[in-house]
Amino acid sequence: MTNAALVGIDFGKLDFEASLQELDLLTQSAGARPVVTITGRRHSPDAKFFIGSGKAQELKEAIGHYGAELVIFNHALSPGQQRNLEHFLGCRVVDRTSLILDIFAQRAKSHEGKLQVELAQLQYLATRLVRAWTHLERQKGGIGLRGPGETQLETDRRLLGERVKSLKVRLIKLQRQHDTQRRSRKRNGTMSISLVGYTNAGKSTLFNALTKANAYAADQLFATLDTTSRRVYLGEAGNVVLSDTVGFIRELPHQLVAAFRATLEETVHADMLLHVVDASSSVRQEQMAEVNGVLSEIDAADIPQILVWNKIDAAPELAAQGPRIERDESGRVWRVFLSARTGEGLDLLRDAISEAVSLGTGLQSDDEAPDVRLVDSWVDEPHAEER
């Protein structure tokens, strides 16, 4: 297993510590072992090293002391900053975007998922292609050796561009197939429900519990990348199609938002969303905001939601109160408290979904937050922060 040095710079954000913990989980999910974490505070990134020359020297010494073979930044680096750091530190440097792309490449199983990951990787690589040819800089003094380097780079860019174009065509074809399947469901009057939420919120565990499916579920980031759909019978409300989708994360690389649009189409075209929240997380409000931000970006912000506060068994305050349903001032279901792992509250969620289906998804979107006051002092003030 590769030893990795983690780097995080505090630019004044309130969730800095939570972000570092997330980077640690991402690193482990990618298959590396965090051995040291270097932190610092800055008002803005350094143009050359991102972290400044003094901190770069501290990082270099830590790499030697802890035997790190890889440096992972909790930020997006420019191609120039990455190149400068690798030259100075003498080891490979990976930024947050590249790390997430690597995890996605490991986890994609379906043909469509693999195509989407490759497209995202190529789009990221296109901005850093020159790094692959830095060895030619040593030859610039030789007569006749300038041209081949430039020609090779241009050839590589052309081949990369052709591959990107080919992948986009194939993904469009797959998207049309999904559209046909969705139209067929609409004709049959089958309601579509998508599970959305921050990565590792427990969506796949909840999906398996509701559908008796065997979808892969693990306590790790991005355990699910490929959309899985199952038909679920809800008694008087009839059948619905429930879909498990990729988890969201803060600062999700734009290449992935674009490349995974086909995967997220199930979310865009859903009749209702179950927004799964890790109720035991200290930064659940920030995670909810990230999810809603991505939903807005993919034009899914207006789809009615039920908030599903999962993992109540891991939060003592919630475990004491047990599973329950909360409603807004109009009497509509607002959020359901449950534990997908233990099964507590699953019947309540089924009832809530069935009720919403019977009422024609008469739910509020997240922007139409209910004006409710909860007597439980531990609960976050609804919804001013949740939006």
Q: Is 224 annotated as a binding residue?
A: yes
- Asked whether residue 69 is domain-assigned, the answer is yes
Known binder of ligand: residue 124? no
Would the pLDDT of 39 be above 50?
A: yes
DSSP string computed for 349-367: HHHHHHHHHHTTS-PPPTT
Examine residue 60 and state whether it is found in any structural domain, yes or no.
yes
pLDDT tens digits for 23-38? Answer: 998 999 888 999 999 9
Beta bridge partners of residue 194, listed in sequence order: 243, 273
Residues 86 and 212 in one domain: no
Q: Same domain, yes or no, for 71 and 197? A: no
Residues 80 and 201 reside in one and the same domain: no
- Residue 223 included in any domain: yes
Domain encompassing residue 35 = 2-94
DSSP state of 85: H
* Residues 65 and 198 placed together within one structural domain of the fold: no
Q: Give the pLDDT confidence of 208-219 residue by residue, as tens digits.
A: 999 886 665 655
Q: Are 264 and 256 in contact (CB under 8 A)?
A: no
Point out which residues pair with 210 in neighbouring strands. none
| 244 annotated as a binding-site residue | yes
Give CA–CA dist 163/102, Å, rounded.
19
User: Is the residue at 161 inside a domain?
Assistant: no
For residue 49, which phi and psi values (nearest 5 degrees)?
Answer: -110, 0
**6 annotated to a ligand binding site:** no
Ligand-binding site membership of 202 (annotated): yes
Q: How many other C-beta atoms can be found within 10 angstroms of the C-beta atom of residue 282? A: 12
DSSP-derived letter for residue 127 is T
Calculated CA dihedral for residues 73, 76, 79, 81, nearest 10 degrees:
-50
| Share above pLDDT 70 across residues of the chain, in percent, rounded to a whole number | 76
- 233 plus 351 within the same structural domain: yes
Could you tell me if 209 and 339 lie in one domain?
Answer: yes
Q: Is 245 annotated as a binding residue?
A: yes
Same domain for 194 and 57, yes or no, is no
Q: Fill in the amino acid letter for 287.
A: Q
Same domain, residue pair 203 and 57? no
Confidence of residue 6 (pLDDT cuts 50, 70, 90): very high
Q: Does the annotation list 132 as a binding residue?
A: no
Q: Is 200 annotated as contributing to ligand binding?
A: yes
Contact status, residue 68 vs residue 35, Cβ threshold 8 Å: yes
pLDDT digits (tens, 9 = 90+) for 180-208: 766 766 666 678 899 999 988 999 899 99
Q: Is the pLDDT of residue 70 over 80?
A: yes
Q: Is 12 annotated as a binding residue?
A: no
- For 334, counting Cβ atoms within 10 Å of its Cβ (0-12 exposed, 13-18 middle, 19+ buried), the class is buried
Q: What is the CATH number of the domain that holds 80?
A: 3.40.50.11060
Residue 293 pLDDT level (bands cut at 50, 70, 90):
confident
361 is in an annotated binding site: no
226 and 330 both lie in a single domain: yes
Is 116 contained in some domain? no
204 marked as part of a ligand binding site: yes
- Per the structure, the count of domains in the chain is 2
CB 224 within 8 Å of CB 204: yes
- Tell me whether residue 198 is annotated as binding: yes
* Same structural domain, 227 and 348: yes
Is position 353 annotated in a ligand binding site?
no
Tell me: is residue 226 an annotated ligand-binding position: yes
Q: Does some domain include residue 311?
A: yes
Residue 147 placed within a domain? no
Annotated binding-site residue? 197:
yes
State whether 194 and 78 are in the same domain: no
The single-letter code of the amino acid at 99 is: L
- Which of 72, 94, 116 is the last residue before a domain boundary? 94
| CB atoms inside a 10 Å sphere around CB 289 | 16
Instruction: Please indicate if the annotation marks 222 as binding a ligand.
Output: yes
Q: Residue 87 falls within a domain, yes or no?
A: yes
Q: Which residue has the higher pLDDT, 7 or 260?
A: 7
User: 195 and 67 in one domain?
Assistant: no
* Residue 128, marked binder: no
CATH number, domain of 232, equals: 3.40.50.300
Strand intervals (E) in 314-354:
324-327, 333-337
Q: What is the model's pLDDT at position 147?
A: 46
End-to-end CA separation in angstroms for the chain: 40
284 annotated as ligand-binding:
no
